[in-house]
Amino acid sequence: MHGDPTRFAERVLDVVESIPPGRVMAYGDIAEFLGEGGPRQVGRVMALWGGGVPWWRVVRADGSPPVCHERRAMKHYQSEGTPLRGERVDMRLARWDGGDRPDPVT
């Protein structure tokens, strides 16, 4: 398939798997959390190897799901109870910081 995941890709996929159900992270959030790469690089990793992880929990900064996968993503959101605002995720409530806390609410 597309070659093997690089070390950076492995980290990205690992973070995605750590996102709890009902929560999401933006592409840029993941890059910032890892301290390397950028949103485009995270996007490329998801495009190539995102099929093996909860890819629907990775959205754009404005909460819109991955292009061309909106329908499938919405189904998961409804199933997980992810806070929605119309056709996108309500980042104010669903944004995950990447930590292990069950609830980042202060």
Partner DNA sequence: CTCTTGACGCCGG
Partner DNA sequence: TCCGGCGCCAAGA
Task: Catalogue the E-assigned strands of the chain.
Answer: 25-26, 58-59, 84-85, 88-89
Smaller CB separation from DNA, 61 or 78: 61
Long-range (24+ apart) CB contacts under 8 A made by 30-38 are: 30/58, 30/98, 33/97, 33/98, 34/8, 36/8, 37/8, 37/12
Q: Shortest distance, CB of residue 106 to DNA, whole angstroms?
A: 21
Per CB under 7 A, the list member of 19, 46, 89, 94 interacting with DNA is 46
Q: Which stretch binds DNA (CB under 7 A): 31-39, 74-82, 97-105?
A: 31-39
13 binds DNA (CB under 7 A): no
The closest alpha carbon to 45, from 1, 9, 69, 3, belongs to 9
Per CB under 7 A, the list member of 41, 89, 94, 96 interacting with DNA is 41
Smaller CB separation from DNA, 18 or 69: 69
Q: Which stretch binds DNA (CB under 7 A): 43-51, 76-84, 93-101?
A: 43-51
Interface positions, 75-104, toward DNA (CB under 7 A): none
* Dihedral sign of CA atoms 29, 31, 33, 35 in order: negative
